[in-house]
Structure 1
Amino acid sequence: MCGIYGSTVRYDDNIIFQKLARADFRGPDYSGFEHNGPVTLGHNRLAIVDLDHRSDQPLTYKHLKVVFNGEIYNYKTLKIKLTALGYRFQTDSDTEVITAAYLEYGENCVNHFNGMFAFVIFDTRTLQLFGARDRLGKKPFYYTQNGLDFEFASQPSQICIGRNVTINEQAINEYFVWGYVPEPKSAWNEIQKLEAGHSFCFDCNTGSFRTRKYWELDLNHAERYEGVYQQAQADLTRLITNAVDIRMHADVPLGVYLSGGIDSSLVAAIASKNYNNVKTFCIKFREKGFDESVFAQKIADHLKTDHHTIECNKEEGLELIESFGRYYDEPFADSSAIPSLLLSKHTKKHVTVVLSGDGGDESFLGYSRYKWFNMVNQLFKCPLALRKRIADIISISPNYRHKLIAMGICNPEVKSLYGLMLGGLEYSWLENPNIGLQVPFMDIWSSKSTSMLQKLSAFDTKTYLNGDINTKVDRGTMAFSLEARAPLMDYRVIAFAQTLPDSYKFKYGIQKRILKDILYQYAPAQLFDRPKSGFTMPLSHWFKNELRDHVMDHLSISELKNIPGINVQKSFAMINDHMSGKWNRATQIWKLLVYTQWLKDQRSKAISTYQVA
């Protein structure tokens, strides 16, 4: 788990030091770089496996040089196979295994890796660069390419140093819809993201650059699970148990996030069954209705873990808001990033690796919006005119959710409804919200071979899980040099879940049915008999009270005029609606706050290190 960097531009060494220092929090244990012919490779290391300096990077294996961010969980099994084929190794790291696998399997080496990764290999003989990003996009990879000019990094701000970059206004429009900048765009016109499940090749001789998709969800369901429910439960238990086990290997202290929900509790239960004295961590909010720490404590007591509760307060949260841009680089409006940062900050005092329950909601239909959308979808069988009349009746209700439903069913297509719903539905404050909705993977809605629930699951896996959850967790943990591993995001678990009938995951109103039945083998069901609660902050309350002055100062009319793509007057009216209690606009206000802070950071950096046109 580290930060990688590389370039074909021969910068002065002082500039390279600046670029590496910009992301030093990703790898505080060692930082270094090498010039190899036309390529400079750099690395910030967070030592997790084989702590010896022999595994520092850039690492040399025969005629290959490599920089690698992440973990290959099955590297020991791969190492045995490669040793049998004649390969020899000088370290106990997974990094060497990547290079040997590349020599043996070529570009297809990525199909042999089970892990989270972003890496680049430089062949000193052919002057070719080969790199890849893991299947689900857990590790970031940013790059810029123009002719022979190729530069990549874990954090886009590293690329910005020494360059003239310009803000991508269409990407910002997409941010205002989704709450993050969807791949392959970045917040800058000159920088892109390598998409999840893709590899690339760059020829330093010719400047030829190409990408290749090496993995995709089985959207056609060529392999459908034919076994009965009990057999599926047993098969999934084996898969998840192995996914947890291979992620428990580290040469540094390791723990588990335990929120009190189904997913993290399952991971903690399996880990604590097979390992002694597992450390678990959760966060506590003072505000009523947002705190699940009491449930996490009960589960920890049952599992007999070494449990730690961390309190989130407004003062420390505000401090993290101010430093938010240093770690996230791009505008990112998932407010749970703040408690994630806080949880990581205090967890790092105890461990260097932590397992999380991320990935369960998307694959096993856990979000409440799936139940809501499954019901609302039936209304889309009615003509639009009839839906509008129904909406007129529903909108009379003072209930916030009823008003959202009324807005939603007036959309002409169900696919646009889901996209709008993820971002809060109401976009009258944007000049042209339709621009932001035109993102990759919208074609899933035209699939004839999948159910509506399967479409939602696949769509969220490719968009929300990738662009939001993975970004939140990677930046939030790496900000404090903490590695996060997600067993439920093992690609084998994701693929298996895609083959299951809907009824195995959602039946009788029970969501995540199969995961719950597995969990209840480890912990009594009554510990989880409560409504699902998201990992969120009480922003709506804070904005009207403790943070009211902060909001009004940073989102004044003059500040709003600096934001592209919004209607200033409607945006200001929206903020006042929230302050008066007329309408909960916390999601939209947070997006605007994050962007204004990001824009302020860009101007500051432009003066000292790079220019923003």
Structure 2
Amino acid sequence: MCGIAGLFDLNGRREFSKDLVARMNDVQFHRGPDEGGFHFEPGVALAHRRLSIIDLATGQQPLFNEDHSVSVVFNGEIYNFQELVPELQALGHQFRTHSDTEVIVHAWEAWGEDCVKRFRGMFAFALWDRNQGVLFLARDRLGVKPLYYAMLEDGSFAFGSELKVLMAHPALSREVDPLAVEEYFALGYVAEPRTIYKGACKLDPGHTLCLRRGQPVPESKAYWDVQFTLNNPVSFDDALEELDARLKESIRLRMISEVPLGAFLSGGVDSSAVVATMAGLSSGRVNTCSIAFDDPAFNESEFARMVAERYQTDHHVETVKSDDFDLIDSLSELYDEPYADSSAIPTYRVCQLARKHVTVALSGDGGDENFGGYRRYRLHMMEQRMRDAMPIGIRRPVFGMLGQLYPKADWAPRVFRAKTTFQALARDSVQAYFHSVSILRDDMRAQVFSPAFKAKLGGYNALEVFRRHAANAQTDDALAQIQYLDIKTYLVGDINTKVDRASMAHSLEVREPLMDHPLIEWLATLPNDMKIRGQEGKFLFKKAMEPHLPNDVLYRPKMGFSVPLARWFRGPLRERVQQALTSPIMADSGVFDMPMLARIVADHQSGRRDYSSPIWTLLMFESFLRRSQGEMRREAA
């Protein structure tokens, strides 16, 4: 795994400052501590930080084609590179290394912009073709690897693996985007292609950007999408057999490494399935890493131990105290922009543990989205059956009124929260799903935001993120539509962002076999009853793993990877929450109705309401504001 950075002059051939490019590259040293590399020529600067995984001896970057007219900086892994090499050699290309990186430059020469369609893996890269005067950027289909870019005030184009790379350039405007703030408080992250700053963007997953000297920056282009057809005629038994083969192939490809390799093992279905499959493919003991919690309500380590013992893995466990909140300020620096998934804390810890033993770790991320594992999927489908039975012209006024009148019951399981159900029934399917996953829902954001800030939004609602993707989903099926939305939003903006930053903070490469795009494409053809049957999610996946995993692992209630926020905010973090949410920096931001923030704190700490998720979201935003102000003061000095 690595970090990339660079500058491109769209209008001329200026000589970029080597010191500036070095500073941009150095801020991501954690992504690649093994080596650093640069390439400079008039109008172009490429930089790279390397974490050596494959071809340790000759895989340095930037890497070039035979005549040095094409160069690339690359973050990620091309898992099928060994299949592509002989095909490219047959076309006359000569390879000087055994690195997957070299496949990119030759694939560009052979297939141009379509080269990305041939790559199977996780990647973000920037390629410079001197003869064509083209800078080509690409990001993998699922957004496993990040790629940020900006058109700067000095007329140059900048890119990097993290937002902090762009922030190291003095020409980047730090003006906060109000629409990004709206998305953050709804979703807990700023959705692609936005960033928290108006002047910077993320390249969308499955997209490329082709810049040509002398031409304005174009729109990015999609090269991949997933289509939920649900029309595969395969029998259940044949689907079980095919799933087993596809899992083995995906995991086998991701076990190619010249450095120590292992896996995360949480004790859940997804990571346990990956470990069980790895054990069947490996000639030696698999390294596994687990985090235990001293609070039994959050501790899955017993189930991880069951899997580790069954497959005799070399198992490593560390216990995290339930009051492990020392990382709160570090998270702001790690993620660069506001990010509100509190499971970033245990994710950081398990990456920290894994790096003590391995350089590459396989994860189970993506299983819930692709196999139909989230409980919210079953609830949404139940609600959708009720929506389908009644026209929206009747539902909206009737259930809208009931949703307003019915008391809120945060303490109750969701199935008994009639207010939430009534609100969902008053909406269309996309609105309802957005409502169900929002951290601060529409009515709460309306109360939390100041009138001046709402005016800046100009009527924009983060629901538009879901609307935009739903328009491309090519399906009206209730389950397929929300799986598609999660693949485009939550999986990218939350899960993959969390894992990338937490792992790269420890120079650890994490690979994601359940996000193999051929596997995802195949799963999208399967009928829904192979994913959810009755009240059982991941039905096909669990049946496929029954010969390999204990029933206690497969069929126990999902626990999740979480921390005790509600107790923290009423106990050891009580004073910090009060000070942060009512601080001058929050008031000066102009975003908030400060009396409402004080009311949220008081209601939570008194026990009247559970506002733990909104408070965490506000706390992370305050930390971002504080860090941003500190950086601007240091730059001014």
- From the superposition, tell whether residues 299 and 564 of structure 1 become closer, same or farther in structure 2 (CA, over 3 Å): farther
- From the superposition, tell whether residues 91 and 77 of structure 1 become closer, same or farther in structure 2 (CA, over 3 Å): same
- Separation in 2 of the partners of 1:385 and 1:376? 17
SS of aligned partner of 1:137: coil
How many residue pairs get matched? 607
Q: Which residue of 1 aligns with 2:54?
A: 49
CA drift at 1:388: 4.4
Q: Which residue of 2 aligns with 1:144?
A: 150
After superposition, residues 22-61 of structure 1 pair within 5 angstroms as 22-52=27-57, 54-61=58-65
Q: Which residue of 2 aligns with 1:545?
A: 571
Q: Deviations for 1:149-185, whole angstroms, at most 9, x for unmatched residues? A: 2110011121122224111121011101000000111
TM-score between the two structures when normalised by the length of structure 2? 0.91
- From the superposition, tell whether residues 253 and 196 of structure 1 become closer, same or farther in structure 2 (CA, over 3 Å): same
SS of aligned partner of 1:196: coil
CA drift at 1:260: 0.7
- Separation in 2 of the partners of 1:447 and 1:343? 35
After superposition, residues 28-427 of structure 1 pair within 5 angstroms as 28-52=33-57, 54-62=58-66, 63-145=69-151, 149-161=156-168, 162-165=170-173, 166-219=175-228, 221=229, 224-275=231-282, 276-313=284-321, 317-380=324-387, 381-382=389-390, 383-388=395-400, 391=403, 395=407, 399=412, 401=414, 404-410=417-423, 411-424=426-439, 426=441, 427=443
Q: Deviations for 1:30-52, whole angstroms, at most 9, x for unmatched residues? A: 11222122100000111111111
SS of aligned partner of 1:31: strand
- Separation in 1 of the partners of 2:608 and 2:413? 10
Match of 2:532 among 506, 522, 533: 506
- Separation in 1 of the partners of 2:473 and 2:78? 33
- Separation in 1 of the partners of 2:473 and 2:148? 31
Contact 2:469 2:488 in 1 (8 A): no
- From the superposition, tell whether residues 59 and 28 of structure 1 become closer, same or farther in structure 2 (CA, over 3 Å): same
- Separation in 1 of the partners of 2:501 and 2:440? 27
- Separation in 1 of the partners of 2:234 and 2:18? 60
Q: Which amino acid aligns with 2:614?
A: Q
CA-atom RMSD, angstroms? Answer: 2.2
Match of 2:463 among 426, 431, 437: 437
- From the superposition, tell whether residues 280 and 572 of structure 1 become closer, same or farther in structure 2 (CA, over 3 Å): same
Contact 1:130 1:201 in 2 (8 A): yes
Q: Deviations for 1:280-309, whole angstroms, at most 9, x for unmatched residues? A: 111111122111011111111112111111
Q: Which amino acid aligns with 2:396?
A: L
- Separation in 1 of the partners of 2:255 and 2:466? 34
- Separation in 2 of the partners of 1:526 and 1:337? 26
Q: Which amino acid aligns with 2:310?
A: H
SS of aligned partner of 1:119: strand
Q: Deviations for 1:360-394, whole angstroms, at most 9, x for unmatched residues? A: 10011101111122222233344234324654786
- Separation in 2 of the partners of 1:321 and 1:107? 41
- Separation in 2 of the partners of 1:434 and 1:423? 15
SS of aligned partner of 1:173: helix
SS of aligned partner of 1:187: coil
CA drift at 1:442: 4.0
- From the superposition, tell whether residues 605 and 425 of structure 1 become closer, same or farther in structure 2 (CA, over 3 Å): closer
Stretch of structure 1 that moved more, 127-136 or 409-418? 409-418
- Separation in 2 of the partners of 1:246 and 1:446? 31
Contact 1:182 1:463 in 2 (8 A): yes
Contact 1:280 1:300 in 2 (8 A): yes
1:482 aligns with 2:508: yes
CA drift at 1:553: 2.0
CA drift at 1:447: 6.3
SS of aligned partner of 2:46: strand
- Separation in 2 of the partners of 1:195 and 1:225? 29
- Separation in 1 of the partners of 2:42 and 2:626? 38
CA drift at 1:441: 5.0
Contact 1:407 1:425 in 2 (8 A): no
Q: Which amino acid aligns with 2:511?
A: R
Q: Which residue of 1 aligns with 2:12?
A: none
- Separation in 1 of the partners of 2:502 and 2:590? 27
- Separation in 2 of the partners of 1:70 and 1:218? 25
- Separation in 1 of the partners of 2:415 and 2:552? 31
Q: Which amino acid aligns with 1:89?
A: F
SS of aligned partner of 1:438: helix
Stretch of structure 1 that moved more, 467-476 or 573-582? 573-582
Contact 1:163 1:610 in 2 (8 A): no
TM-score between the two structures when normalised by the length of structure 1? 0.94
Q: Which residue of 2 aligns with 1:576?
A: 602
CA drift at 1:497: 1.0
Contact 2:188 2:439 in 1 (8 A): no
CA drift at 1:69: 0.3
CA drift at 1:538: 1.2
Q: Which amino acid aligns with 2:287?
A: K
Q: Deviations for 1:547-569, whole angstroms, at most 9, x for unmatched residues? A: 21221221225343134433222
Contact 2:179 2:460 in 1 (8 A): no
Contact 1:353 1:482 in 2 (8 A): yes
Contact 2:582 2:594 in 1 (8 A): no
- Separation in 1 of the partners of 2:435 and 2:590? 20
CA drift at 1:396: 7.4
CA drift at 1:237: 1.2
Q: Which amino acid aligns with 1:436?
A: A
- From the superposition, tell whether residues 55 and 446 of structure 1 become closer, same or farther in structure 2 (CA, over 3 Å): closer
- From the superposition, tell whether residues 377 and 154 of structure 1 become closer, same or farther in structure 2 (CA, over 3 Å): same
- From the superposition, tell whether residues 448 and 137 of structure 1 become closer, same or farther in structure 2 (CA, over 3 Å): closer
Q: Which runs of 5+ in 2 are unaligned?
A: 10-14
Q: Which amino acid aligns with 1:583?
A: R
Contact 1:394 1:403 in 2 (8 A): no
CA drift at 1:446: 9.0
- From the superposition, tell whether residues 443 and 137 of structure 1 become closer, same or farther in structure 2 (CA, over 3 Å): closer
Contact 2:126 2:135 in 1 (8 A): yes
Q: Which amino acid aligns with 2:317?
A: T
Q: Which amino acid aligns with 1:245?
A: R
SS of aligned partner of 1:523: coil
SS of aligned partner of 1:511: coil
Q: Which runs of 5+ in 1 are unaligned?
A: none
- From the superposition, tell whether residues 548 and 228 of structure 1 become closer, same or farther in structure 2 (CA, over 3 Å): same
Q: Which residue of 1 aligns with 2:6?
A: 6
- Separation in 1 of the partners of 2:234 and 2:137? 38
Stretch of structure 1 that moved more, 502-511 or 563-572? 563-572
- Separation in 1 of the partners of 2:46 and 2:262? 32
- Separation in 2 of the partners of 1:197 and 1:253? 30
Contact 1:198 1:211 in 2 (8 A): yes
